[in-house]
């Protein structure tokens, strides 16, 4: 495949070999920007497969590139043994910049939208890149992109803003207004069910005050001890004639 679009892959190379190749491609002008991030292997319950530790690689080009020839450059023979099975990259695939970055750091909100959950999470500091400033710009653009448009709408609805008001202020396109109104109803219903369940759990966790009243009323009152008086009796005074 020949393309000038951004591509990504999963690499099983050693980090030293991988970085040396990426630096070379960057100096030669074939790659305009690159980054990679190391991931721990995770167990996939759906496929029952334990993944190996690997490295996610993202590349951008200034010109068209042949991904087959590019992949051959990442064949790594350990100890220089050409007869051994080489370490290599998976086939390169065209990639969306924002999606690739958010997935590579296992961004929680992004994964939830994909109905996915990961054991490990990462940050931008875990990424090795040829241009840190450009990477930060990509991340900022990703966080303000349409990927999180739904989350921004949910925050507005939580603050009391209706879809009708969003339409009035031009925040919702007219061709999406009906869909957004249906979403608003479903969102409010879901939020009500969650709040109701939380309240029921809270009430179940409380002690029943009526039980305390009944228990205290049924308790037999303890007999009070009568204090003995230590006062001595005195004879009445008799007057002498």
- DSSP labels, 189-219: HHHHHHHHHHHHHHHHHS--HHHHHHHHHHS
Length of the chain: 241
C-alpha–C-alpha distance, residues 163 and 156, integer Å: 9
Mean pLDDT in order along the chain per 10 residues (241 residues): 94 96 94 97 90 96 92 90 88 96 95 90 97 97 88 82 82 79 82 80 69 57 58 51 44
76 found inside a domain:
yes
Question: Which residues form the domain of 131?
Answer: 2-144
C-alpha–C-alpha distance, residues 123 and 188, integer Å: 33
What is the predicted pLDDT for the residue at 193?
Answer: 83
What is the predicted pLDDT for the residue at 182?
Answer: 85
Asked if 8 and 77 sit in the same domain, the reply is yes
What is the predicted pLDDT for the residue at 190?
Answer: 83
C-alpha–C-alpha distance, residues 214 and 236, integer Å: 54
Asked if 44 and 137 sit in the same domain, the reply is yes
Q: Which of 63, 57, 66 is nearest to 21 (CA)?
A: 57
Asked if 49 and 126 sit in the same domain, the reply is yes
What is the predicted pLDDT for the residue at 216?
Answer: 59
Would you call 87 helix, strand, or coil by DSSP? Answer: strand
Asked if 164 and 136 sit in the same domain, the reply is no
In the block, tokens 């759990």 appear at 201
Question: Is the torsion defined by CA of 37, 43, 47, 52 positive or negative?
Answer: positive
Asked if 15 and 76 sit in the same domain, the reply is yes
The token duo for 3 is 């393309």
What is the predicted pLDDT for the residue at 150?
Answer: 78
235 found inside a domain:
no
Number of domain units in the chain: 2
The token duo for 83 is 């007869």
What is the predicted pLDDT for the residue at 111?
Answer: 94
Asked if 39 and 74 sit in the same domain, the reply is yes
Q: What is the DSSP letter of 54?
A: E
What is the predicted pLDDT for the residue at 195?
Answer: 80
238 found inside a domain:
no
What pTM did the predictor assign?
0.71
What is the predicted pLDDT for the residue at 154?
Answer: 80
Asked if 197 and 86 sit in the same domain, the reply is no
122 found inside a domain:
yes
Using CA atoms, how far residue 114 sits from 50, 123, 147, 171, in Å, is: 21, 19, 11, 24
């Amino acid at each position: 495949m020949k393309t000038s679009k951004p591509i990504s892959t999963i690499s099983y190379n050693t980090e030293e070999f991988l970085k040396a190749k990426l630096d070379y491609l960057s100096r030669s002008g074939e790659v305009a920007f690159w980054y990679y991030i190391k991931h721990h292997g995770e167990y996939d319950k759906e496929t029952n497969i334990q993944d190996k530790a690997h490295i996610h690689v993202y590349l951008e080009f200034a010109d068209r590139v042949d991904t087959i020839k590019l992949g051959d450059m990442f064949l790594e023979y350990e100890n220089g043994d050409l007869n051994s099975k080489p370490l290599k990259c998976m086939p390169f695939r065209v990639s969306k910049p924002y999606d690739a970055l958010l997935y590579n750091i296992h961004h929680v909100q992004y994964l939830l939208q994909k109905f996915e959950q990961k054991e490990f999470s990462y940050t931008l500091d875990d990424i090795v890149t040829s241009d840190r400033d450009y990477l930060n710009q990509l991340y900022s653009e990703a966080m303000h992109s349409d990927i999180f448009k739904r989350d921004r709408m949910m925050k507005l609805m939580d603050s009391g803003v209706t879809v009708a008001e969003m339409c009035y202020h031009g925040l919702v396109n007219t061709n999406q207004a009906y869909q957004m109104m249906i979403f608003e109803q479903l969102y409010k219903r879901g939020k009500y069910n969650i709040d109701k369940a939380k309240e029921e759990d809270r009430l179940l966790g409380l002690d029943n005050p009526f039980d305390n009243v009944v228990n205290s009323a049924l308790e037999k009152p303890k007999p009070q001890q009568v204090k003995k008086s230590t006062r001595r009796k005195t004879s009445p005074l008799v007057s002498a004639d």
